[in-house]
Amino acid sequence: MDNNQFWQQVTDELAQLPLQLTLTPLAVEVTNGEAFSMQYQSLGGEIIHGLYLQPKSSQPTPVVIDFLGYLTQIENPQQFSHWLAIGCGCLVIDNRGQGGATLDQVPYQTVTMPMPLGRGLLTPEDSYLRRMVADQLRLFEVLENLPLLDASRVYLHGNSQGGGLALMVNSLSPVAIQGTFANVPSQSNLPHRIAAATGSYGVMKEYLNTHPTDQKQVLQTMAMFDIRHYAHLIENPVWASVATNDITCPMVDFFPTYKRLAGPKQLTVFWGKGHEGGGLKRLTQEIQLLKEIM
């Protein structure tokens, strides 16, 4: 099965599931807008928990879909209120099984390990990554149900795992993406990431150390989720950043993806920095850039 067929099957499976979207106003004060707790259904009937921020506006506003890093969670709406300050709505979810409100309860058929990326390693259909990407793709259906967000003005943002997810979702999106901000991105050049046991992919190296005969299956599975195989589909602008001393998501592993991006692109290198990359300084630059674009 090729990449297109695989993701079409995922899309078809999602289409058979009622969205069951619920929004609950949060009793917290958010500057420049309102905050809602958000839940919807995704693969396996799992309920995905997230956050919806809406600027104070009577007209549809642009929206930023923000993607979380590995094993990080939504703590409070203020984490994302900077998007409200420039007139953007925001959607963000807790990735399933990564310590937040979204669980990962559907049993795996092949491999089950405590760390999320160690689950379902032997087939793309069973992979944890299939579930995680599908949960994010379903946000575009959520968008259709939020009339105060403009689905023609969607921007993607993420750091680390979130940066890789932003690029993957960009390539698979059913709507035109206006731009993507991807910082110290993961999910690129996965055979090397696994061999070098860097960051979250160390769990796969750990598995192969004790199951070396499964290497071919694991690498074939991960090829379906390696963003370097999807970069040529991204024609909108991409602003990416890497750091020279990043040993979690080494910049050398992002270069194969960056070279294949088909649209306008810009790469910022933070010299002497580790996985924190440009940190708050970088986010401030991105907010200002998006404000100018809009």
| DSSP 8-state symbol, 25 | E
Q: Which fold has domain 3-293?
A: Rossmann fold (3.40.50)
8 A C-beta contact, residue 236 and residue 170 = yes
Cβ neighbours, 10 Å, residue 109: 11
Which SS3 state, helix, strand or coil, does residue 215 take?
A: helix
Q: Give me 264's structure tokens.
A: 């306008």
Q: What is the 3-state secondary structure (H, E, C) of 126-152?
A: CCHHHHHHHHHHCHHHHHHCCCCEEEE
Which pLDDT tens digits describe the chain residue by residue (294 residues)? 788 899 999 999 999 999 999 999 998 888 899 999 999 999 999 999 999 999 998 899 999 999 999 999 999 999 999 999 999 999 999 999 999 999 999 999 999 999 999 999 999 999 999 999 999 999 999 999 999 999 999 999 999 999 999 999 999 999 999 999 999 999 999 999 999 999 999 999 999 999 999 999 999 999 999 999 999 999 999 999 999 999 999 999 999 999 999 999 999 999 999 999 999 999 999 999 999 998
Residue with tokens 């035109």: 176
Closest CA to 263 of 158, 198, 176: 176
